[in-house]
Amino acid sequence: MAGPLMPEAYGPSWPQRLSEALASLRQAGPRAWLTLIGIAVGCAALVALLNIGHSATQHARQLCRGMGSDLLVANLQRPAEVVPPVALDLSVLPASIRAAAPLLVSVATVQLASKRHETLVGASTLQLAQVLDLQASQGRLLSAYDDDTTHVLLGATLARQLGARVGDRLQSGRYLFEVVGVLAHRGYNPMLPIQVDDALLMPLPGMRRLGAVPEVGTVLARGHAIAVLPDTARTLTDYLAARLPGYEVDVQLPQQLLEGMANQSRMLTWVLAGFAGIALLLGGVGVMNVMLMSVAQRRREIGVRMALGARTRDIAWLFLLEALLLAGGGALLGTLVGLAASWGFALLSGWRYALDASSIGLGMGSALSLGLFFGLQPALAAAHLQPVLALRDD
């Protein structure tokens, strides 16, 4: 005796539904393509801006990596009524501070043969080399025996611009300064008031030869342990305040700078991403517009399908799949364009490209969600059409 017959599957299969949705989109022609491009533009903007912001943050971190995680920069502000000290003695330091060096910055014009260049001049003690971990690519570093001489060091970039080598004599004002060393390339350090690569360094007493009053405005220091750097900063503040009565001492830490830069970068990225989201929203409105026009133009087709036995869900899925295909195609195209645009921007900016994987999911997910949201209402409107009324439409 034969077993019970299994009911045959009713309605179109998923491959058939997809093929019908694709055929309907092909018939829509330029309207479908324009809507897809609108979705792609919004998605591309969102993906590109998120990746550009992520790359910018990583580039800033890379730049700041060379500043030294245990570096402290103390800025000194002297009120007008306070008399500056004759000298700032930093020979005896608290136990938590490994090394410290005063820094005086001025501007001077230096000349070598026919080349003239205006540059920053940094005057300090020999401890500056320990604080900033300076290395000489040519010649030597300054020593305590150079305090009463006209010996100077050149940063790597400044030496290249002047074409200077060890033994050359530079003229600045009425004095000739002898180059005893060229420093190795250091890179940009946003914490420092002077960029070593572009600067001329000399002993602190030598600044008097340039006509400047040697009043120290910055103290650079190194701590022993990164974990207690905030405590070390407070110790340095108290230490300098005791030696400089009346001065305002502001100690900066690398973590503060990194956190500030990261917060600004994140805020700017999300503001720009918000504008990209508006573009994506407009693309979703375009999907809804195309689907509503498609429903209005295909009322007879909907009526015929229903008369032949199509269920409400079959009609709804037909139009919903069209909206999802538009959104999915725009999301895929926009993601590829956004990744390419962010990569090109990073390349032109001289950054190392850093992919933000979450941007891909966020961009494609937003586009598909908008396609589903804006395609649902036209799909439901088509599914609830009355077959008799739809067939009677002219």
Return d(Cα 277, Cα 191) in angstroms, integer.
36
pLDDT (tens digit per residue) in 28-80? 667 778 778 888 888 888 888 888 888 877 776 666 555 556 788 999 988 87
> What 8-state DSSP symbol labels residue 196?
G
Final residue in a domain of this structure, among 186, 215, 245: 245
Return d(Cα 66, Cα 188) in angstroms, integer.
8
Q: Which single residue is written with the structure tokens 């573009």? A: 279
Count CA atoms within 13 Å of residue 143 on its CB side.
4
Final residue in a domain of this structure, among 245, 276, 293: 245
What's the domain range around 88? 83-245
Final residue in a domain of this structure, among 216, 245, 274: 245
What's the domain count of the chain?
A: 2
Whether 109 and 239 map to the same domain: the answer is yes
Whether 322 and 387 map to the same domain: the answer is yes
pLDDT (tens digit per residue) in 82-130? 877 767 888 888 888 999 999 999 899 999 988 899 999 999 999 999 9
Whether 89 and 193 map to the same domain: the answer is yes
User: From the centroid of its chain, how far is CA 283?
Assistant: 27
Cα first-last separation, the chain: 55
> What 8-state DSSP symbol labels residue 207?
G
175 within some domain: yes
Whether 144 and 193 map to the same domain: the answer is yes
Whether 367 and 297 map to the same domain: the answer is yes
Whether 237 and 268 map to the same domain: the answer is no
Whether 224 and 299 map to the same domain: the answer is no
Return d(Cα 58, Cα 334) in angstroms, integer.
24
Whether 149 and 26 map to the same domain: the answer is no
pLDDT (tens digit per residue) in 310-366? 777 777 777 788 788 888 888 899 899 989 998 998 888 878 888 888 888 888 888
Q: What value does the mean pLDDT take over residues 191-201?
A: 90
Whether 199 and 275 map to the same domain: the answer is no
Query: Which one-letter amino acid corresponds to residue 374?
Result: F
102 within some domain: yes
- pTM (predicted TM-score): 0.59
Whether 98 and 41 map to the same domain: the answer is no
When comparing pLDDT for 272 and 10, which is higher?
Answer: 272
- Give me 226's structure tokens: 């990164």
Residues 6 or more apart from 346 whose CB is under 8 A from it?
Answer: 52, 55, 59, 352, 353, 354
29 within some domain: yes
Q: What pLDDT is recorded for position 1?
A: 45
Whether 232 and 310 map to the same domain: the answer is no
Whether 46 and 110 map to the same domain: the answer is no
189 within some domain: yes
Q: Residue 63 in contact with residue 356, Cβ under 8 Å?
A: no
